[in-house]
Amino acid sequence: MKNFALIISLILFINTNAQIDNIAEKLGFEKDARLLIIHGDDIGVSHSVNIASFDGYKNNAINSGSAMIPSPWIKEVAEFHKENPNYDIGLHLTLTAEWKNYKWNGVSSSNQISSLLNEDYEFYDNTSDVNINANPEEVRRELQAQIDFSRQIGLNPTHIDTHMGALAVNKKLWKVYIEVGHKNKLVSMVTKSRALNLFDKDFPMPDYIVPVNDIYMLYPGADRTFLEEAYGENLASTAIVNDIYKYEDWYELYSNKIKSLQPGLNVFLLHLGYNNEELKAVTIDHPEYGSLWRQLDFDVFNSEEIKQLIKDEGIKLVNWGEIRDIIY
């Protein structure tokens, strides 16, 4: 899972506020407003994740989310969305299948995306293989196929992001990601750190991109050494949970982060799921990112205490659909 940790941008604030101030004002807030999207990741990957995410929407624990179109439980997501069209949902564009006994491949025919598949005609289980093997035009084909299929089954996506950061492994795939989003009038989630590293003079950041000021998720202690080497001990300590997972630790880290949010667009990247046998089986080879890790995200953000803290701090909840309506 270290590739996952490497690609996801970790709590990085860069003081380039012009676009952020502009989007806050266009959304009807003061220019120094602290905006927050509470985003549910990996929707569609399993029934457990789906039901927890649906409950999260209904309980106002999340106000946005993204679905994995190639995953086995995606049609359950489509049925929910048809019944609840006002909930903000995007596409967690997927080029990897990371779990040991739980696999999928692309929406496109395998002969059209051979560079994206392993010897078993499944997506790779890591982003390094994507970086080495993926043909950008085959990636473009598959991303468009995922978007088209999402609409075919009844989803109305507002935005796109990248599962395990697979589309941020190199500049060629990043360019495809941005271009496909714009072509389909979908907001591409872009963090400030990725904006610095992946846009350049040959492909400068377009003016329709609204970078996320600060994206935050919790990481298991198994990744502590790696994260400390990558980001420094102080920064890593604000996002790493203890080896024995407890609600109190989850709540403390999230509540501290809420209190310290800076002006601009911020995203909490939650992974909701119920701690049941299905999700334990799905995540068997990485229990540190497994069912209890996801259950605790659910429990904290379904609590009245965290909801009240967000209100008391004056945090303004926004979603990708509102931002899309401004851009497109």
Confidence at residue 2, expressed as pLDDT on a 0 to 100 scale: 46
Average pLDDT, 10 consecutive residues per value, the chain (328 residues): 46 39 88 96 98 98 98 98 98 97 97 98 97 98 98 98 96 98 98 88 94 93 83 86 93 97 96 98 94 98 98 98 96
Q: DSSP strand E in 172-283: where? A: 187-188, 214-216, 264-270
Residue 1: the pLDDT is 54
Domain that holds residue 267: 2-327
pLDDT of residue 168: 96
In this prediction the pTM is 0.92
Contacts of 38 (CB under 8 A, 6+ apart): 61, 62, 63, 64, 268, 270, 301, 317
Answer whether 186's CB lies under 8 Å from 147's CB: yes
Give the whole-angstrom CA distance, residue 278 versus residue 274: 9
What total number of domains does the chain contain?
1
pLDDT for position 85: 97
Q: Please list the helix, strand and coil fractions of the chain in percent, rounded to the nearest 5, in that order.
A: 50, 15, 35
Q: Quick one: pLDDT at residue 48?
A: 98
Q: Domain of 105: which CATH number?
A: 3.20.20.370
